[in-house]
Amino acid sequence: MAHLRSSVWGPAEFVGLPPWWLVREGLLAGGLGVVAIVGTGVAGAWYGLPALAAGEVGLVCAVALVLYLGVMRAGRALVGLVAVLAVCLALQVPQAAAGVVLAERGRVESVVVTSVEGGAAGQGRYLCSVADQGGVPLRVRIWRGCGQATRPGDALAVVYDPEGHVSPRGVETGVTAGGPLRAVVGWAAALVAACLLAVVRSYRLTAAAAGPTRDKDGVTA
């Protein structure tokens, strides 16, 4: 049972509080993982790099974090928890990164509603197909600002990226550059906490004690 518990949750072979350097290592691993996953997504949306913006590189960073914990021989349950949290964070980042770009450099323009769909039986989102002032249809449908009372011919305000790296969306009042990232703060905090726990519980005194020793003449025993 002790071996099973060690394999699943990690051995945690220390007495009292964990060593401070071990806590620092766990926080560093989780923090670097979060920065890599979120940072690559934001950079991809900002500079128009599809592989980064779509979250593919973020998933690679998540796999690298899981492999690191595997090398540390962390508990399997905690490694699985980190994997789930890292993947969920990577999947949440693309939308948040697009919001950051639009909040930082987006421009607002008025568009005309051409059709309204959705909201069946009073449930679900309403989706508005829109066209710009020149009559050119936008390739995306807008749900922010599109509601039950919206009719074809109405005007909607949308925010768009002048560099074209991010799809336009309906205007949200009071949104700052950091606002869209609030959606991923919870996932990021949970990931750091899980990494900290996994690294701390991976500590093995027996492994350190079993290592080679040297006598006073430098001869390995």
Position 121: which residue type? Answer: A
pLDDT of residue 216: 42
pLDDT, tens digit, 9 for 90 and up, residues 84-141: 999 999 999 999 999 999 989 999 999 999 999 986 655 678 999 999 888 899 989 9
Distance CA 216, CA 221 (A): 11
> Which whole-number Å values give the CA distances from 34 to 45, 88, 104, 113, 200, in the listed order?
17, 12, 21, 39, 18
Task: Specify the pLDDT at position 179.
Answer: 72
pTM equals 0.80
> What is the per-residue pLDDT for 92?
94
Domains of the chain: 17-103+176-207 (no CATH), 107-160 (2.40.50)
pLDDT greater than 70 at residue 174: no
Among the residue ranges 8-12, 92-96, 157-161, 168-172, the one predicted with the least confidence is 8-12
Confidence of residue 52 (pLDDT cuts 50, 70, 90): very high
Check pLDDT > 70 for residue 47.
Answer: yes
